[in-house]
Amino acid sequence: MPKTKVAVIGSGNIGTDLVIKLKRVAEYLEIVVLVGIDPNSDGLARARRLGIDTVSNGVQGLIDHPDFADIAIIFDSTSAQAHIANAEALRPFGKHLIDLTPAALGPYVVPAVNLDQHLAAPDINMVTCGGQATIPIVAAISRVTPVHYAEIVASIASKSAGPGTRANIDEFTETTAKAIEEVGGAARGKAIIVLNPADPPLIMRDTVLALVSAPDQDAIRESIQQMIATVSAYVPGYRLKQEVQFSQVDGNVATLIGDDPVPGPLWKVSVFLEVEGAAHYLPAYAGNLDIMTSAALRVAETLAEKTTLELAR
């Protein structure tokens, strides 16, 4: 069966990593064109060396591309504001958009948690790199016991954060916090991102802190291990950094969990993760690139496989 044709908008770190993945590991997808706005960008140059068409005049160049009609899926790896404009320009053409920015025009999707629920949506949002790393853990805890509050801290190497990431810090925290609640199942969520300037660059690290009541510790550990296995099936460098920790919370934490009373003593579940990248573009420390592009690729492959099977019938 022919592969589903796709395009990528954005020739920065995320877009370039995604293009390399599409060329090397995609099973059901064929990358047709990479779209940028800087004709001298490294991403466009690399795409051309891989034999991929490029355009350097943005989304209009994509619309004018001779193969545009055959392209079914478009990845947007630009910025939140740019995606709003791109989605508006592409809306009349009925393409499936996979949004790797924090714009969140469409439903949040974290493959390990809700992969099949929103495949029909015209604009799928991949939350953020921190969200892809931590929301599965929040979901793993919340399927065992209610999570009153979840806080995540994503620490990434400064060298792995391109202009789009840096321009979207506020959107990162807002989008991730909302997705912690809507996808992860926490009653309240909070997100923090740290751009670590250490040299040599440090690998992506993520911390999940969840407040629960009377936890079944063994059940939570098992649920988290199952979720780690699910995520690592499409992000091989995703792993626990140390054992899951439980500690009883002392004092008044009402300001963290809202005004509603929470019965019984509260416990804090602490989960420490690291994400090693596949080094398709930047070195292995850039796990934030790898988890984002791998998650988006997983969604697109699933969508393409579903379409292929339907056509085969």
Residues of the chain with pLDDT > 70: what percent?
94
- How high is the pLDDT of residue 260? 66
Above 60 in pLDDT, residue 191? yes
Region 148-157: what's the mean pLDDT?
96
Write the DSSP symbol of residue 272.
Answer: E
Query: pLDDT, tens digit, for every residue of 225-243?
Result: 999 999 999 999 999 999 9
To the question of whether residue 166 is assigned a binding role by annotation, the answer is: yes
Question: pTM for this one?
Answer: 0.95
Predicted confidence band of residue 214 (pLDDT cuts 50, 70, 90)? confident
Give the C-alpha separation, 131 to 40, whole Å: 32
Predicted confidence band of residue 246 (pLDDT cuts 50, 70, 90)? very high
Contacts of residue 153, Cβ cutoff 8 Å, sequence gap at least 6 = 191, 192, 193, 194, 206, 207
**Residues forming a β-bridge with 106:** none
Residue 21 · residue 28 · CB < 8 Å: no
To the question of whether residue 11 is assigned a binding role by annotation, the answer is: yes
Query: pLDDT, tens digit, for every residue of 2-33?
Result: 899 999 999 999 999 999 999 999 999 999 99
Quick one: tokens of 227? 């979720």
Residue 79 · residue 15 · CB < 8 Å: no
Region 135-141: what's the mean pLDDT?
98
Largest CA distance in the chain: 64
**Residues forming a β-bridge with 248:** 267
CA 106 to mean position of chain CA atoms:
14
Give the C-alpha separation, 44 to 63, whole Å: 17
Predicted confidence band of residue 121 (pLDDT cuts 50, 70, 90)? very high
Least confident of 174-188, 201-215, 245-259, 292-306: 245-259
One of 129, 139, 266, 278 is an active-site residue; which one? Answer: 129
The DSSP element (H or E) to which 15 belongs, if any, is: helix 13-24
To the question of whether residue 237 is assigned a binding role by annotation, the answer is: no
- How high is the pLDDT of residue 146? 94
Give the C-alpha separation, 270 to 150, whole Å: 10
Give the C-alpha separation, 163 to 14, whole Å: 11
Give the C-alpha separation, 297 to 292, whole Å: 9
Give the C-alpha separation, 24 to 19, whole Å: 9
Quick one: tokens of 193? 């991102």
To the question of whether residue 31 is assigned a binding role by annotation, the answer is: no
To the question of whether residue 192 is assigned a binding role by annotation, the answer is: no
Give residue 26's identity as a one-letter amino acid code. Answer: A
The DSSP element (H or E) to which 84 belongs, if any, is: helix 80-90
Give the C-alpha separation, 16 to 13, whole Å: 5
Query: pLDDT, tens digit, for every residue of 48-70?
Result: 999 999 999 999 999 999 999 99
Which listed CATH number (3.40.50.720, 3.40.50.920, 3.40.640.10, 3.30.70.260) goes with 4-126+291-312? 3.40.50.720
- How high is the pLDDT of residue 257? 63
Least confident of 13-17, 130-134, 161-165: 161-165
Region 186-191: what's the mean pLDDT?
95
* Three-state DSSP class for residue 260: coil
Residue 129 among the catalytic residues: yes
- Per-position DSSP letters for 16-41, written without gaps between them: HHHHHHHHHT-SSEEEEEEE-S-TT-
- The domain segmentation of the chain, as residue ranges, is 4-126+291-312, 129-284
Give the C-alpha separation, 8 to 97, whole Å: 10
Give the C-alpha separation, 305 to 26, whole Å: 11
Q: 129-284 sits in which CATH class?
A: alpha beta
Query: What is the rounded average pLDDT for all residues in the chain?
Result: 94
Region 32-52: what's the mean pLDDT?
97
Write the DSSP symbol of residue 253.
Answer: -
- How high is the pLDDT of residue 238? 98
Give the C-alpha separation, 105 to 91, whole Å: 12
